């Protein structure tokens, strides 16, 4: 068995972060959580995750600011960033393209299995 796939969740709502952590941990992902953009960047650089699940509305900086910082880091430039948001789809579609995100997952999580499948689909084939 190879090393576990690392997923970083940048999400300020504790309940949502906990749900995501439980779902992904139970599927053998190594999950890291940051409640703010600054911590998210620090954790991303320290852990070099395989995927970053990014809430677009964070308390310190917004998601697009963090996406820009992540994209500017050579060690993270190919890491898929998935926007995780309750914003209207049209807005999100435009944003994910302009911020170099791999795609998005809508909140709230309605189906845990569907959510896990979406995460899996964004992970680059090893």
- The answer for residues whose C-beta is within 8 angstroms of residue 126's C-beta and 6 or more apart is 2
101-123 pLDDT, tens per residue? 999 999 999 999 999 999 999 99
Computed from CA positions of residues 5, 125, 82, 49, in that sequence, does the dihedral angle turn out positive or negative?
Answer: positive
Task: Count CA atoms within 13 Å of residue 62 on its CB side.
Answer: 7
The tens digit of pLDDT for each residue in 31-85 reads 999 999 999 999 999 999 999 999 988 999 988 899 999 999 999 989 999 999 8
In this prediction, residue 90 has a pLDDT band, given cuts at 50, 70 and 90, of confident
């Amino acid at each position: 068995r190879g090393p576990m796939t690392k997923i970083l969740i940048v999400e300020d709502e504790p309940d949502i972060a906990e749900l995501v952590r439980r779902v992904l941990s139970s599927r053998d992902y190594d999950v890291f959580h940051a409640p703010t953009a600054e911590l998210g960047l620090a954790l991303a650089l320290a852990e070099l995750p395989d995927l970053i699940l990014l809430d677009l509305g964070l308390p310190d900086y917004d998601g697009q600011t963090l996406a820009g910082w992540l994209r500017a880091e050579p060690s993270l430039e190919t890491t898929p960033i998935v926007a995780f948001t309750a914003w209207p789809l049209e807005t999100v579609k435009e944003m994910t393209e302009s911020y170099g995100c791999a795609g998005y997952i809508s909140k709230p999580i309605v189906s845990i299995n569907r959510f896990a499948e979406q995460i899996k689909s964004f992970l680059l084939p090893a």
